[in-house]
Amino acid sequence: MKLIRELEELQPEMQKWRRDIHANPEIAFEEHRTSKIVIEKLKSFGIEVDSGIAGTGVVGTLKKGQGNRSIALRADLDALLINETNDFDHKSKTPGKMHACGHDGHTTMLLGAAKYLSEHGDFDGTIHFIFQPAEENEGGGKVMVDEGLFEKYPVEAVYGMHNIPGMAVGTFAIKPGPIMASFDIFNLKVIGKGGHAAMPQTTIDPIIIGTKIVEAYQSIVSRYINPQEPVVLSVTQFHGGDAYNVIPNEVEIKGTVRCFSPKVQASMEKQMEKITSSVCSAYGAKFEFEYQRRYPPTINSEDEVQTSLKVAKNISGDSMVNSAPTPSMGSEDFAFMLQEKPGSYIWIGNGDKEGSCMLHNPGYDFNDEILPIGSTYWVEMAQEILSPIR
């Protein structure tokens, strides 16, 4: 790999930054300590800093030369509500919270790049380093956009990165178009008529009705949606009842829908409500149905992907870069930024060692070996796009 020597030499220091953040995880919109670390480091690098956007978000701005072009590089800050099971020295000090998705590493790689670009960067224009809060479930990216992120920091494109366990160290993967799915949720309350379990004929059993609805939901994917359109519908919660001998009055059913197309999103919502209404009507029950579109699909722009591919291949070689990965059914609120600006979202290999844990796993840890790789990617991207006229 063609890594920047100064970033390879910075790796031990970056590892300390990363492990300190890992040991002190903070969840969505509570990343006060993490934001303070980012602010202090950016200022120490001589980078102009603005904070408070979306509460705990930070934007660092670095300008060189006379060029009027500008880009944004984004990392996420927050941790997850997971109880860490690792036993190394930098394990979470906060029970029930951990960096199980590698945002500690993402933050560190962008900080490393910011340091290098401030001290040695060869570019002509402006770079905005975006450190975003609340990626996990709470849509911090949308909040930043809604609070005027790109009005205050105008850019021609925005770029993101995420580590992927199972991909070898030194590898990258990216493609134009959808790279990650939408994140929709649904909440259904089936309202029947409770009663004695020994006399079910006197009730309108919401449990029976709920199970019929759950089963019918699965037919939507197989019978109402074009099989060429990937979509996942998962029921993840079914709550009802408190006693062995009582049929409850109501049950709650909740879950998620993932797809890559706004058209499919609309079809899923419509068909789910239609099925719910039909089944409840057949059994004489009432219902309350809510469908929320939390995150849109993450859709990469063609030109920005080609630039990302060029940089990644220059770093790792053609054979180490997958230009046609299978899109993930996971979601990412970087999608909100890509709705506003062209850009690309790339995956970087976190290692493929046997037994390595996947994301959102209590045994996960970011691989410090890839810190200089990710930082090199950010630096080379910035310098490629904002290359000075010679």
CATH number for 183-295 (one of 3.40.190.10, 3.30.70.360, 3.40.50.1980, 3.40.50.300): it is 3.30.70.360
State the pLDDT at residue 262: 85
- CB neighbours of 151 closer than 8 A, spacing ≥ 6? none
Are 348 and 163 a contacting pair, CB within 8 Å?
yes
Mean pLDDT by 10 residues, the chain (390 residues): 97 98 98 98 98 97 96 98 97 98 98 98 97 95 98 98 97 97 97 97 98 96 90 97 97 97 92 98 98 95 98 98 96 97 98 79 96 98 89
**178 token code pair:** 């959808």
Distance CA 134, CA 101 (A): 12
pLDDT value at position 390? 57
User: Domain ranges in the chain?
Assistant: 5-180+297-385, 183-295
What is the CATH number assigned to the segment(s) 5-180+297-385? 3.40.630.10
Predicted pLDDT at 159: 98
Q: Indicate the angle between helix axes 32-44 and 5-23, nearest 10 degrees.
A: 160
| Contact between 331 and 146 (Cβ < 8 Å) | no
